[in-house]
Structure 1
Amino acid sequence: MNPFIFREYDIRGVVEQDFTDDVVIDLGKGFGTWLVRHGAKRMIISGDVRKTTPHLKKMFTLGARSAGIDVIDIGIVPTPLNYYSQFIIPSDAAVQITGSHNPPEFNGFKLSYDRQAFFGQQIQDIKDLILKNDFEYGEGAFTEDDTIKETYFNEVLSKIHVKRPLKVVADSGNAAGGLVAPELFSSMKNVELTELFSEIDPTFPNHHPDPTVEKNMLDLIKLMKTGNYDIGVAFDGDADR
């Protein structure tokens, strides 16, 4: 196991090199064990649109359940919906499988506990449990819940009221933002939406979904200059920025 996958704020690496099935199962066991020893019982899991996400989600789930944690799979969603789900679905922790703004060959795991980020020494604790093969054993249950997107939409639309006409361009970069942003903006009264790259494509054919790099913003900038738009929005790979 590559020790450098354990970063300050997530667990991240190149899938074919760093995340074999055994490693990912052990990651699930490690997090599951940590949760059990802190009195936790239920965990939410979800992921972004990368090709490798479904399999990583399956392996991590197997590991967590083998430690005795009940797992609730909420599907493929942007990272903010994973965070939001922790306030809606009774649970103690959550995992979002995402490569964020990294290249397509990367993927990773963002962990939460008690509705807060799981980071720093906590992530190192997971590594230590794995290296010591120090796991709890149990038979956690598995359920699926596909209601979080609708719940999120209803709450956002009940709280945000656009009072004047607004022309918006949204660039989802063929990534997870396309699962939510176009439909949400289009549902808002007084918002006229123009979409860029909303279709999900984990190869990211138009540009890499990282709006912090100027070249990835060129399509949005060009379009903004052609019309009388009020605002342009670009999302990264898991739409948490």
Structure 2
Amino acid sequence: MSHRIDPTILREYDIRGVVGETLGPDDARAIGRSFGTLVRRCGGRKVAVGRDGRTSSPMLEAALVEGLVGSGADVVQIGLGPTPMLYFAEATGADIDAGIQITGSHNPPGHNGFKMVLAGKPFFGADIARLGAMAQAGDWDEGAGSVELREVLDAYVARIVEGLGEVPREALSALRIGWDAGNGAAGLALEKLAARLPGQHFLLFTAVDGTFPNHHPDPTEEANLADLKALVAAEGLDFGIAFDGDADRIGVVDGMGRTIWGDQLLMIFAEDLLRMVPGATVIADVKASQALFDAIAGHGGEPLMWKTGHSLMKAKMAETGAPLAGEMSGHVFFAHDFYGYDDALYAAVRLMAASVRLGRSITELRGAMPELLNTPELRFHVDETRKFAAVEEVRRRLAEAGADFVAIDGVRVRTPDGWWLLRASNTQDVLVARAESGTAQGLERLIAEVDAQLAMSGLSRGN
């Protein structure tokens, strides 16, 4: 009784593969056996299980549950919904010890996977590798757990509404907002949420459809925001909100149709939060604009730069007690009046409240931000065996040259022109570069520095 899980699907932050190629029901069953065994050995017993709207999710859910109960774990099935609803069930269920969400997140329709939490803590890195090792060795407990169905959607939506806080409802009632669920798992929760929120709300693509017939659910790709921008323009809305496939990442456009990127969004949240929690630590990942770190300090907060990755961010928040964190990718984490995990629906509600508390529209807040020139993420293929070594080579050369840099997650180099970043992805066989400057010429020089360092390691990022 053992099973070999394809090691390529055991990622740093979750498990993710192509259904029918690297991921199937036997893998899901083995993951259930391993995870259920770990939960039991940690003194727990009950595991919440949720799923997204992909066509393969019911099949994988059935096999996962079979594996969990075969290890002696009891299963609470919460059904179809966003990943944060699974986190909510685990965080608030007094009898629930762990949780697994079946989701392919923002990946193509044929992909799927699993996100996990154990004892209120993110389950990642070595924890995920351990699941594979346990399956390979057949290191599983035997048992006969139970299965129950539990409705949590309404309680989850009610908790999201509480994110409005004490903001006057008459001010919120003036807001007109567009929402794009992208046919992802947020659909039903969004419909229920919009019905309970003050203001006028215009919804797109709330029907859950794992083939994503309208556009791909990844709000970090600007092309996927075209429908939302068109809605905001046609209806003259204050701003628009978009979600990824499992609604743990948020995308925002202002009333002029400008995209508000993750670090810019965190500027708004930080300004609002620091009025309520003066001097608080706010965490952002190494890809974020220097303007964000300057803004946090300017509002009296303590900016902290940290590694990219939602599990790494949650762990750092728990370590430091930071009430707020965020990533360029649109993960936003509130521990202030919330549970510290990434929930895009909750972030959207907090954005409504922030606009009213700050006394400025989202468009005005976006317009007041510094206009810096920066690249998008420049991602290019590098062999899995080479990517981390190449970054280490760059780090050594920078140290020998006395460069001004930080090596929290890859290397982020400061120069008079601005800064550039080179890091290895933890989830794909790619290197990621980014640069930011106040001038076009400065940005060109920064990118040239990246290319020069890559060339010295025998690499090129291409066009």
TM-score for the superposition, normalised by structure 1:
0.95
**Superposed displacement of residue 56, structure 1:** 0.4
> Is 1:193 paired with 2:201?
yes
Matches within 5 A, 1:137-176: 137-146=142-151, 148-160=152-164, 162-164=169-171, 165-176=174-185
The equivalent of 1:41 in structure 2 is 45
Superposition deviation, residue 227 in structure 1: 2.6
Instruction: Find the counterpart in structure 2 of residue 204 from structure 1.
Output: 212
AA matched with 2:121: Q
Structure with the bigger RCO (C-alpha within 8 Å, sep 6+) is: 1
Deviation at 1:87, TM superposition (A): 2.3
Alpha-carbon offset, residue 36 of structure 1: 1.4
* Contact 1:186/1:192, CA 8 A, preserved across alignment: no
Shift of 1:158: 4.4
Q: Which residue of 1 aligns with 2:245?
A: 237
Structure 2 equivalent of residue 117 of structure 1: 122
Counterpart residue type for residue 32 of structure 2: G
Opposite residue 82 of structure 1, the aligned amino acid is: L
Output the CA distance in 2 between the equivalents of 1:158 and 1:170: 19
Distance in 2, matches of 1:236 and 1:156, equals 17
Unaligned runs of 5+ in 1: none
* 8 Å contact from structure 1 (residues 11, 108) kept in 2: yes
What is the aligned length? 239
Match of 2:97 among 92, 99, 106: 92
Higher radius of gyration, 1 or 2:
2
| Contact 2:157/2:192 (<8 A) preserved | no
Paired residue for 1:184, among 162, 168, 193?
Answer: 193
2:180 and 2:242 in contact (8 A); partners too: yes
In the other structure, the counterpart of 2:131 is: 126
CA contact (8 A) 1:45 1:73 kept: yes
Moved more, 137-146 or 174-183: 174-183
**Separation in 2, partners of 1:16, 1:158:** 41
Q: Give the 3-state SS of the residue equivalent to 2:21 in structure 1.
A: helix
The code of the aligned residue for 2:176 comes to K
Secondary structure of residue in 1 paired with 2:216: coil
> Identity, % of aligned pairs?
38
What does residue 77 of structure 1 align with?
Answer: 81
Matched residue of 2:194: which SS? helix
Query: What letter corresponds to residue 203 of structure 1 in structure 2?
Result: T
Q: 1:156 and 1:236 mapped to 2: Cα distance? A: 17
